[in-house]
Every structure is written in C-alpha cells, then in structure tokens.
Amino acid sequence: MNSTIDSKKEIQTIRHSAEHVLTQAMQRLFPNKFLMAMGPATDDGFYFDFEPIGEFKVSDADFPAIETEMAKIVKENLPIIRQEISLDDAKKLFADNPYKMEWLNSIQDRGEIITIYKTGDEFTDLCAGPHVRYTKGIKAFKLLSIAGAYWHGDEKNKMLTRIYGTAFESKPELEEYLNLIEEAKKRDHRILGQKLKLFTISKLVGAGLPLLQPNGMIIRKELEQYLWDLHKNKGYSQVWTPHITKEELYITSGHAEKFGDNIFKVQGKDKNEIFYLKPMNCPHHMQIFADNQFSYRDMPVRYFEPATVYRDEKAGELSGLTRVRAITQDDGHLFCRTSQLETEITTIVGIIKEFYTTFGMMENYWVRLSTRGPKGKYLGSNEIWEKAETALKSISDKNQLPYKIGIDEAAFYGPKLDFMFKDALKREWQLATIQCDFNLPERFDLSFTNEKGEKERPVVIHRAISGSIERFMGILIEQFGGAFPTWISPVQVKIIPITDCQLEYAQNIEKELKENGIRVEIDDKSETMQNKIRNAAGEKIPYMIIIGGREAENNTISVRQRDGQDLGIMPLSQFIDSLKDQISKKSLNLVK
C-alpha cells in the first residue's frame, strides 16, 4: 500500500483514539455532567461533541486539567479493545443516551455490524474504529478550542458543546502544527482585511455578503485582469449574463432538483413567475450558445465570464471572504467536439499551472479525478459517464498530473479534475476545477453542424481557475500575511517627505510614478519620519521613498522596503524601471 496512505490512516487512528481519551478524561473529571454525542477524527485533529446536563459548562480554562487527566490515561497504557455487540445489548448499554440510540438505529437501518471500544475497564463508546491498541500509542496531543455546534450540523437540532483538539505521531510535529496555528492567527484574513481596509462585513447588508473597499477592489481587478490576460489569446470571448433568471432555466438544467434548497428565490410583480438569483452560470452560457448557428469550423466555442452568483449557505458556515453567499466565479465554458477534449483541457491545465506558479502555490499540489459513486444522484447514462471519465483519465495521464481517484466526488452532470493546493500555512484548498459534461448539451438540445451537414452534439467543459474570487482573495491575504507581491498591492509606493519643505518635490515624484502606472500615495501628515515609516510598514506597502533636503537638492530618492531593507539613494528613473520590470513579471519578490 502507498506509504502516504498508510501514514494518513495511522495519524487518523491516533487522533480518533485521542478523542476517546478526551471523553474518558472528562468522565473522570465531570462524572454525570454531560451526555456523549459524537467525536470523529478530522484532517487536522479531532473533536468531541457533548450535551451539558443542567448548569454544567466547560471553557478553555478547563483545558489544562483535562489535558493533565488525558496524560494520566496515556501513561496508564490502557488497552483499547474492539468488541462486536448485538443491537439489543447495545441499546441496553446506551439506553440513557439519545445520541447513541439514534446512531444505533441508523446502523441497524444500514445493516452494519455494531462495535464498541473499551478503554481499560471504565470507558466504553459506540464506535467503528480503528484505534491504537494501547493508550501509550497517543504520543502528542493538544486541546485547541471550544465552540457550539448543532447536532448533525442542523440548526433545527439541539446546540451541543464541541471541544477541538489535535494529535500527532511526535511532539516536534505537534509543535510545528501549533506554531502554524499561531501564525494563522497573525495572518487571519478577517483581521487583516479590516486592518488594511480591504473589505467590510456589514450587519445591515448581511452575513456572507462582503463589501470591497477601494484597496480590496484593486486586488480584485488585478486578479480579474490577470485571469483574462491568461485567456484572451487562447480563443476565449467575454460574455455577460444577468443576476436573476426564470425558474424554468434551472428546472431544465437539473440544478433546481439537485440544489433547490440552496437557491434564493425572487417573486416578481407577476405572481405566476418565479425567478432565481443566479446560483451558477452554466445554464445561461448554454442559452448564448443555443442562439447561434455554429458549424464544425467554429468549434471550439469558448466563453469567459467573471460573474457573481448567489447561494443560500448556512449562516454558521459563513466566514469572511472564504465562505460567502455572493460568489464571484472566474467562470468559463467551452463547447467542443469529443476529439478536441484533450487539446482544450491541456490548454486549461497550462493556464492553471501558470496562475498558481505566479502565487507560489505549485509545491506539492495534486489533482482529484472526481468520478461517480453508487448513490444515484447523477444525470445521464452509464455510457456517457464512462466516456467522460475515460477521457479525463487519459488526459490526466498524458499531462502527467499527480492525480488520485475521488469516488462519488463528481459534479451531478459529469466527472471533473479538482486541483488541490497548499498555502503558506500548509492548509489544503480545492481551487481550480475542470469539469467534463456530456449531459447539459443533451438537456438543452445543443448542436452544431458537422462536415456531413448533420447536427452533432457538443461536449461542454466547465472550468474555473481561481474558483471563487472572494475565497481566493481571502487565501491570498493569509498566504502573504497581507504583504502582497508588488504587482497586486493596493498601494505600491508610499512617499514620505521629512518636512513640508520637500512636499513639492514629493508631489512631482508622485506625478511621475502615476504616469508610469504605479499606485502611489504621499504621507504629508504632521508626524515624525519614524512614525510615517512605521505606519507604511504596518500598511505592508512594498516600498517607501524617503525625501529629505539632500534628495530634493540632488534630484534623487532614498528607497526603503517594507521589511526594513535600505536600498539606498538612486535616481527616480532607475527605481521606476526596476519597479515596472518587477510588476510586469508579477514577481513574488521585492527589488534587491
């Protein structure tokens, strides 16, 4: 078996076992004070949900005592033993716990074997496992935070208390992870977004509906322009579609049936008409294609639209820019022949690689080839799906993509390639996607005329490079800790005159920088030079131009970077040339 997979299973086993030890420690410390609910391992740790009884409460102030008790259980090296049990015996064992009884009923419905795990003689829990054999197998753990959580994530259910923790195979790995958590707090895009005046969340506007400030809009427009620059010479045409649509469009596409609960509905004056706030762009682009008479000579047809769509996400899941209700997708749809799939998808793969290389995110990326599962939630025939899945696998092999098969991860209309990238904090994000679709052309009866003068059905490729502009901006803020590469920084240069005597010279420099397309501001406040430099560094502006009497007299500038490095005195023209070169190359680094 793949060693990476083995290692992942091992760490998941350790984390799942640490959750059992957490629950056991709490039972020792707080007997009869809570009801166990559930506690799975996660990609980066584990959590334990419980219902407090009466006035009982737990806070992070209790963590040291809980961790001390957990350490005792680990040191006792108690055996963790799996045992199969009958449904009747299990219901007797957990008769006083409604959460376990609900799980037992669901296990019964699925016809699965019921198992419990015993840790020593005092703790038993309903669990599928696996677990380490003895508690000493849990080498390094830490409790992280506490929060409220609805049972099954459904706000209609009871609010439980959730304790988050993590565990690793060694203490150095745990320390590295805890350091990353501290670094993540410093880079939190919600805090930096407010500090750097990038975006605003207004209670009057609503959760999940961020407002971009001027600085944030600069970043967004730079991203959109870069995305268009990567496409404009590859046969794409820009289109635009409205934000609302008649219900019939999404009934025809199948989205109403599959995602109806996440769609915002709008009632017009005509009570017989129901409109949807646009949840995705693809059905609209189908209509643009359908309104043309294309022949095989026109294929492929490629549409590009960075469009905002709207989805009714749960309020508890919304977060800054990374989980929103107004989602701007850098969306594109290509209509092509089956024989053109390989060339078109290869081109898109090239665009994805170039885009993420620019942001320094190509290290250790991988691709999930998302295919059907057995759940029957997919549109189209087996023949169509086999054709699409085979095409994507072949293309992935030819492009040497580091892919893994993701069963039951496909879109409802077709298989896809989901590109997974890690940020500077080693967190994994699913960002770019390429989706192969033989189904929507069928549902909308799309066709073009082939060489024989006959109608031929196109294949549709759905593709997004950044995924969601909002989410990608949130990731970028944290990727760079707000210290953006110069080309995307809202303000690229801050001019700091030491006294008002240099203000006129500073204004001349500002004018010349603006004429060269450089975003610049003058700090003419009545503060000391040291305070102005400190403020500019806090605003994470890449460069500061310090203007004193000597610079004004000699027609030069003194340049300092945000990291404190002094680049010395130079002619303005030299600085402009180096800065423009850095911006045009979209360099990650500052001028040295």
Q: The whole model's pTM is what?
A: 0.85
Give the mean model confidence (pLDDT) for residues 60-73: 96
The CA distance from 127 to 384, in Å, is: 39
pLDDT given for residue 572 in this prediction: 95
pLDDT given for residue 591 in this prediction: 56
Closest to 131 measured CA to CA, from 14, 296, 2: 14
Where does the pLDDT of residue 578 fall: very low under 50, low under 70, confident under 90, or very high at 90 and above?
very high
The CA distance from 398 to 107, in Å, is: 43
**pLDDT for 187 beyond 50:** yes
Under 8 Å between Cβ of 469 and 330: yes
DSSP state of 457: P
Where does the pLDDT of residue 270 fall: very low under 50, low under 70, confident under 90, or very high at 90 and above?
confident
pLDDT given for residue 107 in this prediction: 84
- Non-local CB neighbours of 440 within 8 Å, separated by 6+ positions: 253, 282, 283, 286, 413, 446, 460
Give the mean model confidence (pLDDT) for residues 238-252: 94
Under 8 Å between Cβ of 63 and 165: no
Tell me the per-residue pLDDT of 373-409, one tens digit each, with 9 for 90 and over. Answer: 876 667 677 887 888 888 889 889 988 999 999 888 8
The CA distance from 36 to 28, in Å, is: 13
pLDDT given for residue 5 in this prediction: 43
Please identify which residue in the block is written with the tokens 């005792």: 72
Where does the pLDDT of residue 48 fall: very low under 50, low under 70, confident under 90, or very high at 90 and above?
very high
Where does the pLDDT of residue 7 fall: very low under 50, low under 70, confident under 90, or very high at 90 and above?
low
DSSP state of 258: H
Under 8 Å between Cβ of 416 and 405: no
Look up residue 430 and give its two tokens.
């699913």
Amino acid at 566: D
Phi, psi of 32 (to 5 degrees): 60, 25
- Non-local CB neighbours of 341 within 8 Å, separated by 6+ positions: 391, 395, 436, 459, 461
Where does the pLDDT of residue 244 fall: very low under 50, low under 70, confident under 90, or very high at 90 and above?
very high
Closest to 333 measured CA to CA, from 305, 291, 353, 370: 305
Give the mean model confidence (pLDDT) for residues 181-210: 94
Where does the pLDDT of residue 326 fall: very low under 50, low under 70, confident under 90, or very high at 90 and above?
very high
Where does the pLDDT of residue 266 fall: very low under 50, low under 70, confident under 90, or very high at 90 and above?
confident
Tell me the per-residue pLDDT of 471-487, one tens digit each, with 9 for 90 and over. Answer: 999 999 999 999 999 99
**pLDDT for 239 beyond 60:** yes
Q: Mind giving me the DSSP string for 530-556?
A: HHHHHHHHHTT-SEEEEE-HHHHHHT-
The CA distance from 305 to 170, in Å, is: 48
> How many CB atoms within 10 Å of residue 164?
17
**pLDDT for 412 beyond 70:** yes
Please identify which residue in the block is written with the tokens 């994805």: 352
pLDDT given for residue 2 in this prediction: 44
Closest to 352 measured CA to CA, from 321, 396, 410, 289: 396
Tell me the per-residue pLDDT of 525-555, one tens digit each, with 9 for 90 and over. Answer: 888 889 999 999 999 999 999 999 999 999 9
- DSSP 3-state assignment of 586? coil
pLDDT given for residue 198 in this prediction: 97
Please identify which residue in the block is written with the tokens 């060339």: 343
> Count of H helices and E strands in the chain?
18, 27
pLDDT given for residue 6 in this prediction: 54
- Non-local CB neighbours of 175 within 8 Å, separated by 6+ positions: none
**pLDDT for 503 beyond 80:** yes
The CA distance from 313 to 153, in Å, is: 13
pLDDT given for residue 36 in this prediction: 92
Of the listed ranges 272-286, 377-391, 436-450, the least confidently predicted one is 377-391
Look up residue 95 and give its two tokens.
């008769």
Of the listed ranges 228-237, 418-427, 516-525, the least confidently predicted one is 418-427
Give the mean model confidence (pLDDT) for residues 60-69: 96
Q: Which domains does the chain show, CATH number per domain? A: 3-180 (3.30.980.10), 195-245+276-479 (3.30.930.10), 486-584 (3.40.50.800)
DSSP state of 79: B
Q: Is 302 exposed, middle or buried (0-12, 13-18, 19+ CB in 10 A)?
A: buried
DSSP state of 572: H
Tell me the per-residue pLDDT of 105-131, one tens digit each, with 9 for 90 and over. Answer: 888 888 888 999 999 988 998 988 889
Closest to 193 measured CA to CA, from 359, 319, 360: 319
Where does the pLDDT of residue 56 fall: very low under 50, low under 70, confident under 90, or very high at 90 and above?
very high
List, by residue number, the catalytic residues: 282, 311, 329, 331, 333, 416, 462
- Alpha helices, DSSP H, located in 111-244: 171-187, 189-195, 214-231
For the chain, the average pLDDT equals 91
- DSSP 3-state assignment of 195? helix
Under 8 Å between Cβ of 39 and 27: no
Tell me the per-residue pLDDT of 129-146, one tens digit each, with 9 for 90 and over. Answer: 889 999 999 999 999 999
